Structure 1
Amino acid sequence: MSHATEDLTVQSKSKSNTLNSQRNGNTLGYGYSTGGGGSGGGGSSSPEKLTVLDMILESLGLRNLTSKDIGVLIMLGFMFLLFVISVTGFFVMWFTEYYNNTMLKNLILAENSETANSWLQPDPKYDTLLKAHIFNYTNIEDFLAGRADKMHVEDLGPLTYQEHTVKDQVSFNKNHTVTFRDKKSYKLLPEKSTLREDDVVLVPNVPLLSAAVHVKRMPAFKRLLVTGTIKLFEEPLFKRLTAHEYLWGYRDKIISLESLGGGKTHFGLLKTRNGTSVDSVQLNTGEDDISKFSIITQFNGKPQLDFWQGDECNRIDGSEPSMFSPIELQTRNTVYVFLQVLCRKVPLHFEKEETIYNDIDVLRYRTPLDVFAHPSENPANECFCKNTDRCLPSGVINATKCYDDSPIFPSFPHFFSGDPVLYKDFEGIKPDADLHQTYADIHPRFGFPISGASRIQINIMLDKTPLLRNQAARLENATILPLIWIEITAGDFNDDVLHTLYVSTFGLDAIQLALKYGTLLVSVTTFSLIVASVYYLNSKREEQQLEHSKSSAELEALAGPATGNGSVVVVQVLPHSVSHAHRGEP
């Protein structure tokens, strides 16, 4: 035969060993070995040792992957990890309050925190405004003399003051509360006032009207002595004072009496507001439970009042008026504020969502119309009448025990929402919801009012005791005389404050929206990539399985007939030189 002819060496192996050898990569092509043989036959290479990656790929049915295929597999693992993270973030941002609650932790009044320091010593640019309106009795002399049918009162003002409040005598307690006293100072703002402090007004003589009640309760001998002394002063039932004297104090003879003033010498309706408050307040810092944030826990060292009859009316667990728990605002339910001027907590009902200051969303709350209603109209007010001499018509509250037994009866300005019988003897009383109802525009995320008005009117009741009987002959007993009404509002925010408010509001909202829709986008994107990668790898595996099946079929076709013991004949192609050497040819 020619030198081009190749010898064939026949080697018998079991069929199972041949197939195993093929799976382990020891054959090339269709089972033809490339190893050279000695005189006894062709040599075979040792089985390749499998790595961990090989075993993983083997279990997945993926073998002989290219670098591109491995890159796809790595990307699949990374995408799966990113998908799990993004889906977790998606559910957290869309279906929980985790983000909001995390932001709320910055509101708690933890000792030495930035929030607490700002609350204790606020920047003056956040100061509130106090607007005082005085009722001037323009024709009272004619009325008392019988020359006028009704008393005419003129609403003068406002006198507007910048009210700066800091916290004094502060103590942070271990039970997550803080105890303090308000310390207020006032600065007149003439440009925002329609009344001057030196304007003279004709107003009720509050020390005299108050003394009449106190003297009536004195022992007989002391009562006669004090009554005689007061009559020597010849104090009128109504007197002329400047607006400043009436509001911030003047030296008064009646107050100077030890038995009445207790060592005081001056009287002014707002005098006790200027300086450190005589009342101490303890409230929850929110550290243990953000829903309790700003809730008052003690007033003057007591967990409840003792002014009213019944635990419900003596409760003080309302919010401090300058801040509310955002958790409580989320439900839009009624919230309560504790007002020291009334010595009671007052409900605020959610009215609507409002937009102010160029697109800042707020929650508007208002006082209900029946907050000072007679128990026949509002049974919840029953306990505010039980410990008093009389339960007055709707519109006023008997706060005498809150003011050291002075006959003070607060109401809304101009007796708004009150029974008209209260002002039947007056001209000039004009109730108006827009001007006289209390409301608050509260930031839904931060829980502090950024707009609104707290409005209260101070009235005094006439008690026609012997001390006043002659001067008050024309007046009915128990007549409620309006004195002043005050309005506390937010200050005029400058551009710096508004910028801070915008950044705080829209910045946090933008971050929240970015996280919400960002996690949604990443979840959808990674899921799509995972599906595409799985589809690619599955196609690759099916392609390999198809090639493997084809190789097995061709191998069996080339192997020839099987031997009786199940062996197959494997044909090995030997190189030309090896074939001739085997024959002994050169």
Structure 2
Amino acid sequence: MQIIDDQESHEILGNDETVKEHLTNCNNSQTRSLSRKSSLNVSRNSSKENVVQKQHLVTTVFELTGIQEKEGSKEFGTLILLGVMLLLFIISITGFFIMWFTEYYNDTMLSQIILKNDSESTKNWMNPNPKYDTLLKVHIFNYTNIDKYFAGIDDKIKVEDIGPLTYKEHTTKVNVSFNNNYTVTFRDHRTYQFLPEKSNCEEREIFVLPNVPLISASTKIEKINIFKKIMAIKIINAYDEGAFKTLTAHEFLWGYRDRIVSLDIGTGSSHFGLLMNRNGTSVDSLQINTGEDDIRKFSIITQFNGQPLLDFWADQKCNRVDGSDASMFPPHILNTREDLQVFLQVLCRKIPLSFEKEVTILNNIDAFRYRTPLNVFSSPENNPENECYCHNTQVCLPSGVINATKCYNGAPIFPSFPHFFSGDPKIYKDFDGIMPSRELHQTYADIHPRFAFPISGASRIQINIAVHKGSILKNKLDRIKEGTILPLIWIEITSGDFTDEIIENLYISTFGLNAIQYALKYGTLFACIISFALIVGGFYNLTQKRRQHALSKT
């Protein structure tokens, strides 16, 4: 047994080369196997790294939202995230569409100015804070050489523009009634406070001025029956009043007792003052659209003294009252740059305001500047639109004035722009001291681009009286020609002082609301992009996990 075992051992040991070769082959096989496994592992690791990198954003969101990548909750967490992102995307895309392609934001802001019964905006409209009061600036034409002119010493009448006399004008709404057709009826109630620190003369200063009641009576008296006419002429001649008289500024503007006015030739009062009817509650009522049914109709006048049309002018077009009262305008019309229509009670007619340019005022506040066109008071030859304002189409007035006699109960009042700006020079060829200026005498308004209220500007108009000599004045105005237009005063209505509080409110209504709008516009855009990217990433993450799960089972 021992011999046999040794032999077998020798035979086995004798095959040492075979064993070595066998071991070498085994080692090589194991090496190749390990190499293949290593390559496979490297490939898998590389793939995992790519997946990890691609899942990094989603994983970060998981961590931030508290959805941990635990086994068994991965797919559920991804689905939750996808649901949240999908909801965010729907909300953001809806907001994006609203902010970029509709006027919803702007309309929401504008809804705050709609006049509703008992609303905050209505309360502010009816009783505005005195800090928003306007200024009334009055310039009076003083006739400095009228005696020398009538004596033939001077060839022209010299007038001196003295002013302004500045008043703080506070306006409230009274007799307010909301109607069922989305309109509101009211009257203006104005009070005035003289501001000597903003004036260039005193109210007690004395002026030589046309005798307006006498000149008016000379025109009115021609239209009454013969018996009343004879009686009135005798009484007026007995008063022996001249065509010009001396008055203080306060008397001429706010009223004095006058004997001719007391005769009640169409006036019904014993006092006369050019601005007397502005003080207190207006005799005229207005009805305007509240904007509740359509913001595009906001502030448009629908009735004047209970009537949708006037009866002063030649046809319906000129008798229309559908303009604004100049304190506010329909906001949407600013986007089209169309003319703004303003109904002026002092003229009993509408006048347009035309867009001029965009301006920057009050420390970089944007506004739209509108001006009155130069042809507003032009004759029909130069502006055919004015033909219906000409009472006698055969002999119309020269450019620059309008015959508002019917508007003033028969008094020959002929308004114009100050110093007859844009008018025919022949109107004032007999005067010295008339110096028209665009900067000083043209009406303009700087309108808020969103809410369409005037931020600043100047509404300017001049009151003149036309001479009709008739039976009363034929011996009192020898050198003054029939039809001569005598300037009386011109007024300018401007915004008051801009306090820090007012400027701050303007900044909020301009920059604050704009900033919110831009934040919402670009915020919704950014939210759309981010939520969409997260949805794509979430779907990719979910797909990869399911693929890995399927591979792990095989």
Q: TM-score range by the shorter chain?
A: 0.7 to 0.9
Query: In the alignment, is residue 215 of structure 1 matched against residue 218 of structure 2?
Result: no
8 A contact 1:351–1:364 mirrored in 2:
yes
1:144 pairs with 2:150: yes
For residues 122-521 of structure 1, the aligned pairs below 5 Å read: 122-262=128-268, 264-386=269-391, 390-521=395-526
Q: What is the rounded CA distance, in whole Å, between the counterparts of 2:359 and 2:101 in structure 1?
A: 25
**Distance across 1 between alignment mates of 2:305 and 2:151:** 46
8 Å CA contact 1:180–1:280 kept in 2: the answer is yes
Conservation of the 8 A alpha-carbon contact between 1:136 and 1:153 = yes
Counterparts of 2:276 and 2:359, CA distance in 1: 36
**Alignment match, 1:54:** none
CA distance in 1, matches of 2:427, 2:319: 26
Quote the Cα distance in structure 2 between the aligned partners of 1:137 and 1:268: 18
Uncovered stretches (5+) of structure 2, i.e. residues with no partner: 1-69
Unaligned runs of 5+ in 1: 1-63, 552-586
Instruction: Kindly indicate whether the alpha-carbon contact (under 8 Å) linking 1:308 and 1:387 is maintained by their aligned counterparts in 2.
Output: no
Residue identity matched to 1:471: K
Residue 526 of structure 1: aligned partner: 531
The runs of 4+ residues in structure 1 deviating greater than 6 Å are none
Match of 1:76 in 2: 82
SS in 2 for 1:154: strand
What letter is aligned with 1:289?
D
- Name the SS of the counterpart of 1:223 in structure 2: helix
Which residue is 1:555 aligned to?
A: none
**Displacement, 1:539?**
2.2
One-letter amino acid matched to 1:296: I
**Cα drift, residue 260 of structure 1:** 4.7
The aligned residue for residue 541 of structure 1 is: 546
1:372-399, Cα deviation, whole Å (9 max, x unpaired): 1000111010111145784100000110
Per-residue deviation, residues 343-365 of structure 1 (Å, max 9, x unmatched):
00111111111111111111111
* Identity, % of aligned positions: 62
Which has the larger helix fraction?
2
CA offsets 1:198-240 (integer angstroms, 9 cap, x no match): 1001111100100000111222222121111111111111111
* Native 8 Å contact 1:309 1:387 kept in 2: no
- Alpha-carbon offset, residue 543 of structure 1: 3.0
SS at 1:202's partner residue? strand
Q: For the Cα contact (< 8 Å) 2:353–2:371, is it kept in 1? A: yes
Q: TM-score, normalised by structure 2?
A: 0.86
The 1:416/1:197 distance shift into structure 2, 3 A limit, reads same
- Partner of residue 4, structure 1: none
Structure showing greater relative contact order (alpha-carbon pairs closer than 8 Å, 6 or more residues apart): 1
Structure 1 SS opposite 2:85: helix
CA distance in 2, matches of 1:359, 1:403: 43
1:546 Cα deviation from its structure 2 partner: 4.1
Secondary structure in 2 matching 1:523: helix
Question: Partner amino acid for 2:497?
Answer: D
Cα distance in structure 2, aligned partners of 1:398 and 1:252:
25
- Aligned partners of 2:128, 2:232: CA distance in 1, in Å? 46
SS for the counterpart of 1:467 is helix
Asked whether the equivalents of residues 131 and 488 of structure 1 are also in contact (C-alpha less than 8 Å), the reply is yes
2:39 matched to which residue of 1?
A: none
SS of alignment partner, residue 496 of structure 1 = helix
Which one has the largest radius of gyration? Answer: 1
Distance 1:389 1:462 in 2: 20
One-letter amino acid of the counterpart of residue 382, structure 1:
E
How much does 1:66 deviate? Answer: 3.7
Farther-moved stretch of structure 1 (223-232 vs 415-424) = 223-232
Whole-angstrom distance in 2 between the partners of 1:258 and 1:214: 11
Distance in 2 separating the partners of 1:258 and 1:373: 34
CA deviation string 1:257-283 (max 9, x = no partner):
134543x11100000000010101100
Cα deviations across residues 132-159 of structure 1 (Å, max 9, x unaligned)?
Answer: 0000111111111111111111000000
